[in-house]
Chain A
Amino acid sequence: MRKRRVSVRILLPLIMSISIAVCILTCMLLFSHYLSVFIVDSAEKEVKKQKEALAQGIEQEIEDISDLINTIYYQNIKINDFSDEEFSKLLCNIFNDNSDRVYSISIYDIDGNCIFNTRKDNEKNVVNKVWFNNSVENIESIQFGDDELVCNTSVKRVIPVSKYIEYARSNRMNQGVLCVTFYTDYIEQILNNYGSTLNEYCYLVDANNELLYHPYMRAIESDLYEEKTLEKVQNIEKNNIVRNEGTNWIIYKQQLGYTGWNVVVVNSLSYIKNDNLNIYYVVWLILLIIGAVLITLDVVLLKNFTDPIYKLLRTMESFGRGNYEIKADENGIGELKVLSEQFNVMAEKLQKQMDEIRRNEHEKRKMEKKLLQSQINPHFLYNTLDSIIWMIQSGEYCGAEQMVSLLAKFFRISLSQGKDIIPLKKELEHATSYLAIQNIRFKDKFEFHVHADSELTKYLCPKLIIQPLLENAIYHGMEGMYDDGEIDINVYEKDGIINIDVVDNGLGMTEDKIDYIMHNKVVSSKRGSGIGVRNVNERIRLIYGEQYGISMISELDEGTTAKIMIPMLEEVDDK
């Protein structure tokens, strides 16, 4: 299976971007965690502070109440005789001075009988009251009773506060209970100053965890609201964060002196966090922007590093495929630029060497070509000259003259002022001259005909390409023939290619012989031009390409057809 190549251009920015994203996310999580801890701590401290302030306010009120009771007891009851007329007046004066907060001042004997009351309606059955019994049992401390309703100018809530007392009556010491009934208004006012929304509120519970004050007391009594933290308040000594109905609550409670009451402050942590949500969003946004900028910079920076490498790679690949002209862009940072520059230097040197090799190869081929062209066997010339001499000696002056003329023409065209490519017309003239000379030499042993389309004779062809084929026809085809030999040269165009067929009706050749002639450096005869068919074929292919050249078809006793195929190339004016 082929392994997929992972590009550094993608891999590096990807790894860096993922790393940055992970870092930013980690920062966001850490920030969220620490901010959350900070918010919770701050909120807890704040709630604790508020609870202490509330407790302080209520304790101050309780202290005032205690002070009043102690004043009544120690500065009035204890130092005066109950039977004294001034005694009642003193108590009534104290009552009148504190009538805005005190509903009544009453004294009961140890049996629960009322012996003094600032109000006319004496309370009955006080022996059943908790505050009375507690006072009798705890003679040192002040007792706070359960709240109850009283009727003054309107129906109001009061709290009975009692103390065990010893009083003198007719110079005789008696035991009893002093009860001062306070309106709850003052305490409620202190608590009302605190927030009263369901996210931030406080309430007051007595020793039995019964509600004494709650901002939603009416809703609670109307079954419209339920204080769900009430049960949990008892167990919040250590952990002040309580989960209730999917919301975290900060709950602080503090006992108020010796009353047994507890003030409870409740704050919704979710609400506090929600209130600070903007800080989260701002920091998250800043971190995200930083992340985005870092990723962008990372991509841009790495692109500046990897792009030149990538381009150089592409250039090298193209160079490897043979595009030696290609140059690497000399850009990039530091060593990357040097790398491109050095590649270009290397490529340039390599290209020069390649050009040199190519030029040498070309020269070599050219030389080979020249060599091939110049391979004209001198035997042909000697034989022809021998024939001329013989013709002169035997008085055949006309024939000798014709032969000399033909030989001159033959060599003129052979030389062609050093040109390699000549018009087809000249080549045909050359072939005709050759055939005519040979025909004289062979004493009209064969006939020859040239059929050429006059339109085609203007096209160019390499010189001396027909003659070797004619040699082949004469020496292989005509030998053994008696007077009826025929050699035809047919020139025609087929599919845009010039076809030159040399057809003889000689003895023909086997395929093996054709193959041998086509692929071996053989000449038709020692007496001939000395240029082999293979050489001609190679020359044509060298000049025009592999699709051109010579093909041969032969049949024994029927004859041979050698076909030359060359392109239709016209001579153009040098100017």
Chain B
Amino acid sequence: MTNSRRKHLIMLMLIGLIAICSTLLMLKRNNEPDITTIAVVLPQKETIATSRIMDGIRDYVLNNSIELDVLYVEEITEDDMNQILSEETKNNAIGTIIIYPEKYLKCDEDYRLISENIIAITEFMQNQFGVCAYFSNSSKEKEVYDAPLSTEIFQEIINGIITYIHLNNTYALGYKTIEMMDLNGKKGKLSNVEIKSVKVDKQVIESGDFDELLVE
């Protein structure tokens, strides 16, 4: 075999190799962007509020290439919580959202969960967690309710018994919390999520501006 023939053979083999590698790469190729995993811990017993928070979370997840690792818990200790967090870290979750820990986490008052990339949606255990999501004016107002509106409150507002109430937009709380985790979780630059409650009166109800938030 002459040198030139050998060169041609090597050239053809190289082209073939490039073709095979490219095909394999393409077959493995996925047009989907990289999926980010975020863990969510919430109470076993689902309420309308947790359901709305999850709606917000899921709506965000649906359009942002995120995979949720949802854990329903009933009653857990500090150790259990630490174990959950450590397992989620092993599962490559970029962070954990803890919803209403006051409903299932049994811990001392001086307990401090020092861990990165955790946002707790809580109003009563803010001291235990570094970063929290909450409604800013909920504790200051007297008439504060979680969305959706109950029939009684609705009737009372329509009938003028109550002039107005403050409604906690739990959907927005869930949405903004996971948005914060998605955008800043990897960078480790999480900060508190603060949502203002919506003032709802008869006029607001009749305007139809918040229909979807008010209905179940």
Set of chain B residues within 8 Å of A235, measured between Cβ atoms: none
Q: Which residues of B contact A197 (CB under 8 A)?
A: 62-63
Known contacts A148-B208, A155-B216: does B55 contact A218 (CB below 8 Å)?
A: yes
Would you call A157 and B211 a contact (CB within 8 A)?
yes
CB distance from A536 to the nearest CB of B (A): 58
In the assembled complex, how far is the CB of residue A195 from the closest CB belonging to chain B, in whole angstroms? 10
**Does A221 lie within 8 Å of B158, measured CB to CB?**
no
Q: Interface-forming stretch among A17-25, A94-102, A285-293, A352-360?
A: A285-293
Closest to A300 in B: B8
Stretch of A271-279, A313-321, A427-435, A441-449 on the interface side: A271-279
User: B210 at interface (Cβ–Cβ under 8 A)?
Assistant: yes
**Contact residues of B between 73 and 99, Cβ < 8 Å to A:** none
In the bound complex, residues from chain B placing their C-beta under 8 Å from that of A199 are: 63
Question: Which of B63, B206, B211, B213 meets A222, CB within 8 Å?
Answer: B213
Q: Are A303 and B205 in contact (CB under 8 A)?
A: no
Q: Which of A138-196 contact B (CB under 8 A)?
A: 146-149, 151-157, 196
Q: Flag if A277 contacts B215 (CB, 8 Å).
A: no
Which chain B residues (173-216) contact chain A, with CB distance < 8 Å? 175-176, 205-206, 208-216
- B12 interface residue, CB < 8 Å from A? yes
**Distance in angstroms between the alpha carbons of A154 and B152 in the assembled complex:** 9
Say whether A155 contacts B151, CB under 8 Å: yes
**Contact A198:B63 (CB < 8 A) given known A147-B208, A149-B214:** yes
Main secondary structure of the interface of B (DSSP, over half): helix
Residue A15 at the chain B interface, CB threshold 8 Å: no
B27's nearest neighbour on chain A, judged by CB, is A278
Stretch from B18-26, B105-113, B125-133, B134-142 that touches the partner: B18-26
- Contact of A293 (CB < 8 Å), options: B15, B31, B169: B15
Are B214 and A155 interface neighbours, CB within 8 A?
Answer: yes
The CA of A307 and the CA of B22, in the complex, are separated in Å by: 34
Number of A-B contacts (CB under 8 A): 94
Would you call A146 and B215 a contact (CB within 8 A)? Answer: no
The distance from the CB of B153 to the nearest CB of chain A, in whole angstroms, is 9
B31 engages A274 (CB within 8 Å) = yes
Complex contacts, B211 vs chain A, CB 8 Å: 147, 149, 157, 217, 221
Q: Is A342 an interface residue (CB 8 A)?
A: no
| Residues 29-58 (chain B) with a chain A CB within 8 angstroms | 29, 31, 55-56
A146 to B26, CA, bound (A): 52
Query: Which A279-310 residues have C-beta < 8 A from chain B?
Result: 281-282, 285, 289, 292-293, 296, 300, 303, 307
> Would you call A296 and B11 a contact (CB within 8 A)?
yes
Asked whether B23 lies within 8 Å of A285 as measured between CB atoms, the reply is: yes
Contacts of A275 in B (CB 8 A): 31
Q: Which residues of A contact B205 (CB under 8 A)?
A: 149
CA distance A217 to B210 in the complex (A): 9
Kindly report which residue of chain A lies nearest to residue B149, judged by CB atoms. A155
B11 touches A218 (CB 8 A): no
Bound-state Cα–Cα, A198 to B56, Å: 14
Shortest C-beta distance, B48 to chain A (Å), equals 10
* Across-interface contacts of B176 in A (CB, < 8 A): 224
Residues of A within 8 A of B (CB): 146-149, 151-157, 196-199, 216-222, 224, 274-275, 277-278, 281-282, 285, 289, 292-293, 296, 300, 303, 307
Give 6 closest A-B pairs by Cβ, nearest first. A217-B212, A222-B172, A198-B63, A154-B216, A218-B171, A151-B151
27 contacts between A and B (CB under 8 A): A147-B208, A148-B206, A148-B208, A149-B205, A154-B151, A154-B215, A155-B150, A155-B214, A155-B216, A157-B212, A196-B62, A217-B212, A218-B55, A219-B59, A219-B171, A219-B175, A220-B212, A221-B210, A222-B175, A222-B213, A224-B176, A278-B26, A278-B31, A289-B15, A296-B8, A296-B15, A303-B4
B residues sitting closer than 8 Å to A (CB atoms) are 4, 8, 11-12, 15, 18-19, 22-23, 26, 29, 31, 55-56, 59, 62-63, 148-151, 154-155, 158, 169, 171-172, 175-176, 205-206, 208-216
